[in-house]
Amino acid sequence: QVQLVESGGGSVQAGGSLRLSCVASGYTANMFCMAWFRQVPGKEREGVAGLYTGSGNKDYADSVKGRFTISQDNAKNTLYLQMNSLKPDDTAMYYCAAAQSPPWSWSRPGDFGYWGQGTQVTVSS
């Protein structure tokens, strides 16, 4: 079993920054891919950024490219999402997710077996 705990959400004005953290515990060996997703009420959960832990390859949703950065600290078993130049459209609940087998796509929620409880990000104009 793997437990994921997110933190770092909050309320900021447009143009501001936040850094989300996701601490993984339990059986974290062989974690193939980790990602950040977000969801607003009434909409589907969407992939924001993904990281393949073995290769270090990263990918981002077009809507956040150039503004968000995903990274990991293996020593701390922590995944980060640095969010800069935040926009009101970034307002959502943000979730950390982990997959222990290769996902079809880092942005497909159904390919991830472990999820955190979410942290709310609110960006005001």
Mean pLDDT computed over 36-65 = 96
Question: How confident is the model at residue 22, as a pLDDT?
Answer: 97
Q: List Cβ neighbours of 66 (8 Å cut-off, separation of 6 or more).
A: none
Mean pLDDT computed over 27-31 = 79
Question: How confident is the model at residue 40, as a pLDDT?
Answer: 98
Question: How confident is the model at residue 79, as a pLDDT?
Answer: 96
What's the mean pLDDT when you consider all of the chain?
95
Mean pLDDT computed over 44-53 = 96
Pairing of strands 119-124, 10-13: parallel
The Cα 98–Cα 116 span in angstroms is 9
Mean pLDDT computed over 111-116 = 95
pLDDT digits (tens, 9 = 90+) for 5-16: 999 999 999 999
The Cα 16–Cα 122 span in angstroms is 11
Mean pLDDT computed over 60-79 = 96
The Cα 102–Cα 68 span in angstroms is 23
Mean pLDDT computed over 99-121 = 93
Q: How many CB atoms lie within 10 A of CB 77?
A: 16
